[in-house]
Structure 1
Amino acid sequence: MKRGLQGKWVKRTEVEAHQAFVPNALPPLPPLDLAAFAALTERANRALGRLDGVSTMLPDTRLFLYFYVRREAVLSSQIEGTQSSTGTGVSAGCSSRSSWSPRRRSVSRSCI
């Protein structure tokens, strides 16, 4: 669906000279077809339900989130062209591994 420009840049000089983006009036033309997104919304809701179900089986959801954030950092560094791995990212954030419980250490080894 092509909508074209959704507003315009205007020059203002009331107090100081500046430019501002002024969006078009609502509702947009042509109107949004929200029914087209119903199937995608349902699919996303099911995926969230599966993720919620899996999270109940994790011993520590904070640990899962920790590794997920580290993994995203590794992917970002690879996109930027810098060198990193999940292992180095985790070890950099785990300088106090000795204070971890044995269960947490075993989960971290299985995730790496």
Structure 2
Amino acid sequence: MSAGRQGSVRKDASGRWFFVVDITAAGGPRRQARRRGFATKKAAQAALTGFLGKLAAGTYVEPSRLTVREFIETRWLPAVEGELRPSTLASCRRNLRLHVLSRLGGVRLQLLDTATLQAL
């Protein structure tokens, strides 16, 4: 991500304010993030400043619709499959299915927080 990145604040046809900023990674295809629905230009500018701060600090995480179930079944289990004995893997699959995925499988991974995990 380039230093000195700037976005723009504009007013839409409905009279609400929004901002647009490039979030393109170095060498990647151009992508933009937009945030809409601000009542004032000042509110949109403040949100843009916060967004740019996250980009500069490297803490911005793109929104994702990946669920806990999809992550575990398509990414995590395949990644650990070769490292576990077959009996351990079977036990993990069973315990995840019975205790975790039945309650949290539909939760978007990005929205999962410590309070939800502690409640589980």
TM-score, normalised via structure 1 length? 0.29
Larger radius of gyration: 1
Give the strand-richer structure, 1 or 2: 2
- The structure with higher relative contact order (CA 8 Å, sep 6+) is 2
With normalisation by structure 2, the TM-score equals: 0.28
